Amino acid sequence: MLSEITFRRIAVAGALMVAVSALASTTAIRGTLVPPVVGEALRLALASGGTVELELDEGLELTMRDPQLAERLWEVRGRHQEDGRLVVEKIFTVKDGELHRVTYYCEICHITTHEPGLCMCCQGDTDLRELPGE
Task: Give the interface with Zn ion as residue ranges (CB under 5 A).
Answer: 106, 108-109, 119, 121-122, 124
CB closer to Zn ion out of 124 and 132: 124
Structural Rg of the chain based on CA atoms = 20
CB closer to Zn ion out of 17 and 118: 118
* Sign of CA pseudo-dihedral 57, 62, 68, 70: positive
Q: How far is the CB of 122 from Zn ion (least distance, A)?
A: 3
Which amino acid is it at 127? D
Cα separation of 6 and 9, whole Å?
A: 5
Q: How far is the CB of 128 from Zn ion (least distance, A)?
A: 15
CB closer to Zn ion out of 18 and 109: 109
CB closer to Zn ion out of 15 and 109: 109
Q: How far is the CB of 116 from Zn ion (least distance, A)?
A: 14
Question: Do residues 42 and 36 touch, judged by C-beta distance below 8 A?
Answer: yes
Q: How far is the CB of 113 from Zn ion (least distance, A)?
A: 10
Backbone φ, ψ for residue 58 (5° rounding)? -60, -45
Question: Do residues 107 and 125 touch, judged by C-beta distance below 8 A?
Answer: no
